[in-house]
Structure 1
Amino acid sequence: MSDGTFAVSGSDELDCDLFGIEDEPEDGVRPRMSAEDQALLDRECAAGHGALDLSIFGCEDDPEDAARPLMSDADRALLDRECPAEPTIIAPLVPSPHRAPWPLYDVRALMERPFFSLASRGRPTPIDYVDPKGRCWLRAVPAAGEGVASIRDAELLVLIASRLMHELPRGTAVPAVVDLNPRQLLQARGLSASGREYALLRAAFARLRGTRYTTNIGPDGKPGPERTFTLITEVGDGAGRGHLAVGLGEWFHTAVAQRHLLSLTEDYFGIAGHYERWLYRVARKHVGYQPSHYETVPTLWGKSGQGSPLPRFRYELRRVVRANMLPDYQVFWLDRGKDEALISMSPRPEMLDQRRRPGGDTAREERERALTRHSRKDAGTPGLIP
């Protein structure tokens, strides 16, 4: 996430009562935006939103997402009326100090479904999830005394997948056990190589190894036969001094070997909050480089793992949307009276500008070239960190 300031023009404060957790009355009737807040929103949202150039999107990142119905005319009119344009950039975005030495990738299915807890202090209770259509389901059970693997623990899986994509040319077999340098893992995440951080790193691997998943979600993200697995099978001493030998679970290994992956922003490790990082992953999975995507708040609550009550989740989500500081994506909250509120997600114009290429290159072709550029041409032991 950027360290720069991202805000909208104007010095007035929004009515904080609008964002309280008491916005969910028992009878389901939600209060509408006051005239004063509506006037403030209209004043702070710039006018003149231009149409997106659909020719630059290339191949969709996910055929399943591309097949979903577009926003209805009524919802589109509501979005255009309440948030017609981008907020004004007051200060330039400053590059994040958190940088991995390789381009970042993550498994698609892990980005959308609640494989990880959003709790800060560990979640001792299982995660149970069924998608709204009943096609995919998931249960995550923590090991005794460990807690469910968290969204922060997932950083280690991101680094493992990214390292393998960087080191292994296409067609090379992915090793079942990788040798990792703990200092390199900490530095990539912007952490110090202190004794405390090493202990926390070991604890994160323990949660990844101890959390047991039972699900019908396959490595490709599609429903399939029921299976039970862990994402990490073992953590031992590696080949190098102080290195760790990490065994990859069959499900995670298959997902990486078959490249069911999506690229992440280079600012990923700079995203501060758990809710912010989770919402970025959801936006990256669903939106990609398409014009927009929207979800209801209860649907997003289910995808978060329902670690907090719905009113609390709604409050945290409003906070993230109000800041609107996710890298690459902008988010809007659309109140619809008695109907459930919608969260609209779309790429930022600067993200789309970076994808423009004179030859009409598709997003898939761009990713292929990126993998080629970062693949190591020299022969070596696959998966081993010098």
Structure 2
Amino acid sequence: MKTSSRPRGERAKLDPFEALSGDVPPRDQRDLMAHPFFSLSKSRRVAPIHYKAGDVELQVYAVAEHGMATIWDADVLIWAASQILAAQDRGLPTSRFFRFTPYQLLTGIGRTTGARSYFLIKSALTRLQSTVIRTTIRQGEHWRRQQFSWINEWEELATRSGRVEGMEFVLPEWLYQGIVDRRLVLAIDSDYFELTGGIERWLYRIARKHAGRQLGGWRFELRHLHAKSGSLARYSDFAIDIRAIARRQPLPGYSLALDRTADGQELVHIRPVEKLCATSPDIRTSGASGIRTTGANLSVHQAHEPQLSLWPGERNRARKDSNEESKSYYLETRSGDNFPPSGTIRRRSDR
């Protein structure tokens, strides 16, 4: 690939990492799987995400011109993580500074390689760069906040005639360190890229992160899942979508079932199917054992006033025995950020 003659910014200080060709096993970063970093809708989202889980806080902000990075845009980050881990497996040096062809990226995430796909990738890179994240995740005992964008900078490498020969981008240090620490990465099924719905994609990542290969799986309260998703959908519409997914069973390697607790709380039970249970032991799980139930005292404020009545004030009685789930959750979307008025959100908004 022709290289840039005058690298700028961070690229001038970093050695480039040339993307690997051929099949690379897909791997995902655990923090990105566990927390609501992305919009689940293909429509432009400007309303921010404010989320708190115990000592973990994160905020995600979007630029009105481009909107928040979506869960489909996150495929670029999954591809980058997969490339870095594959290079480590081969004993090759890695870097935050990526150099690649659009063909390598598109085929690596199961996309077609036509002109439209190339245009969509450029739009994804723009959203990934313009989305701003503030978080305390992995900041240790000092509880510092770190702010970054998913991509620090990116550029096309083209001939004078306009033919694009390659692309470059730079990952933030926070994400890069979360990838090279192999304890923070999980292998995922390549069929993940074929999931078309935003909630389906998010739910698979939740399943892979928490249920892993445990035969008993993992249980979540449905209201807890709604808070954990960062979705702008009303809880009632979100619940309808989850029930529809449970009927279709589209998640590769996992099955979903709905149940209720004695006090009427609706549960989602995620269990690995035989295919996943038979995978090689080098694919990590969440480290838990047995059937777990994740629930929390939830406080959610969204721009829809009627939605507040959906959240009971009583103490949540579900078990809280997940080491990686918090005792409290807070999720906020501010009403002043292009958020539709009450009653205007359509169902399936995360499709």
Find the residue that maps to 1:207 and give its secondary structure.
Answer: helix
2:125 alignment partner, one of 185, 205, 215? 205
* 1:201-230 deviation line (CA, Å, top 9, x unaligned): 10100111111011111289x994211111
Shift of 1:127: 1.1
Q: For 1:138-153, what aligned pairs fall within 5 Å after superposition?
A: 138-153=58-73
Is 1:335–2:260 an aligned residue pair?
Answer: yes
- Aligned match of 2:44: 122
- Aligned match of 1:321: 246
Partners in 1 of 2:142 and 2:207 — Cα distance? 21
Letter in 2 for 1:232: I
Percent of aligned pairs sharing the same letter: 31
Q: For 1:57-136, what aligned pairs fall within 5 Å after superposition?
A: 101-131=23-53, 134-136=54-56
Kindly indicate whether structure 1 or structure 2 has the higher relative contact order, using CA contacts under 8 Å at least 6 residues apart.
Answer: 1
Q: For 1:208-247, what aligned pairs fall within 5 Å after superposition?
A: 208-218=128-138, 224-238=143-157, 242-247=165-170
Partners in 1 of 2:95 and 2:282 — Cα distance? 30
Partners in 1 of 2:234 and 2:106 — Cα distance? 33
Partners in 1 of 2:61 and 2:230 — Cα distance? 12
The 8 Å contact of residues 190 and 269 in structure 1, kept in 2 or not, is answered as: yes
Find the residue that maps to 1:197 and give its secondary structure.
Answer: helix
Q: Specify whether residues 244 and 318 from structure 1 end up closer, same or farther in structure 2 by C-alpha distance, changes over 3 A only.
A: same
Find the residue that maps to 1:144 and give its secondary structure.
Answer: coil
The 8 Å contact of residues 116 and 148 in structure 1, kept in 2 or not, is answered as: yes
Letter in 1 for 2:152: T
Shift of 1:148: 0.9
Specify every segment of 5 or more residues in structure 2 that has no aligned partner in the other structure, as ranges.
1-21, 286-351
Q: Specify whether residues 193 and 364 from structure 1 end up closer, same or farther in structure 2 by C-alpha distance, changes over 3 A only.
A: closer
The 8 Å contact of residues 187 and 283 in structure 2, kept in 1 or not, is answered as: no
The 8 Å contact of residues 239 and 245 in structure 1, kept in 2 or not, is answered as: no
Partners in 2 of 1:364 and 1:272 — Cα distance? 25
Q: Specify whether residues 108 and 120 from structure 1 end up closer, same or farther in structure 2 by C-alpha distance, changes over 3 A only.
A: same
Find the residue that maps to 1:316 and give its secondary structure.
Answer: helix
Partners in 1 of 2:180 and 2:41 — Cα distance? 30
- More displaced 10-residue stretch of structure 1: 121-130 or 277-286: 121-130
The 8 Å contact of residues 179 and 238 in structure 1, kept in 2 or not, is answered as: no
The 8 Å contact of residues 232 and 246 in structure 1, kept in 2 or not, is answered as: yes
- Aligned match of 1:249: 172
Find the residue that maps to 2:144 and give its secondary structure.
Answer: strand
- Aligned match of 1:3: none
Q: For 1:151-230, what aligned pairs fall within 5 Å after superposition?
A: 151-169=71-89, 173-218=93-138, 224-230=143-149
Letter in 2 for 1:264: I
Q: For 1:41-56, what aligned pairs fall within 5 Å after superposition?
A: none
The 8 Å contact of residues 151 and 169 in structure 2, kept in 1 or not, is answered as: yes
Higher helix share: 1
Shift of 1:166: 1.5
Shift of 1:238: 4.4
- Aligned match of 1:45: none
Partners in 2 of 1:142 and 1:364 — Cα distance? 32
Q: Specify whether residues 302 and 192 from structure 1 end up closer, same or farther in structure 2 by C-alpha distance, changes over 3 A only.
A: same
The 8 Å contact of residues 131 and 149 in structure 2, kept in 1 or not, is answered as: yes
Shift of 1:242: 2.1
Find the residue that maps to 2:213 and give its secondary structure.
Answer: coil
Partners in 1 of 2:52 and 2:119 — Cα distance? 34
Q: Based on CA coordinates, which of the two structures has the bigger radius of gyration? A: 1
Find the residue that maps to 1:294 and give its secondary structure.
Answer: strand
Find the residue that maps to 1:284 and give its secondary structure.
Answer: helix
Shift of 1:135: 2.4
* 1:333-386 deviation line (CA, Å, top 9, x unaligned): 11336432111111102322344xxxxx67569xxxxxxxxxxxxxxxxxxxxx
Specify every segment of 5 or more residues in structure 1 that has no aligned partner in the other structure, as ranges.
1-99, 356-360, 366-386
- Aligned match of 2:228: 303
Letter in 2 for 1:120: K
The 8 Å contact of residues 294 and 344 in structure 1, kept in 2 or not, is answered as: yes
Find the residue that maps to 1:147 and give its secondary structure.
Answer: coil
Taking only aligned residues, the RMSD between alpha carbons, in angstroms, comes to 2.5
Partners in 2 of 1:161 and 1:321 — Cα distance? 29
State TM-score, norm by structure 1. 0.62
Shift of 1:308: 1.1
Q: Specify whether residues 183 and 223 from structure 1 end up closer, same or farther in structure 2 by C-alpha distance, changes over 3 A only.
A: farther
Q: For 1:287-302, what aligned pairs fall within 5 Å after superposition?
A: 287-290=211-214, 291-302=216-227
Matched positions, count: 258
Q: Specify whether residues 216 and 269 from structure 1 end up closer, same or farther in structure 2 by C-alpha distance, changes over 3 A only.
A: same
- Aligned match of 1:272: 196
1:312 alignment partner, one of 234, 237, 254? 237
- Aligned match of 1:36: none
Letter in 2 for 1:116: F
Shift of 1:293: 0.8
Is 1:346–2:265 an aligned residue pair?
Answer: no
Partners in 2 of 1:353 and 1:177 — Cα distance? 36
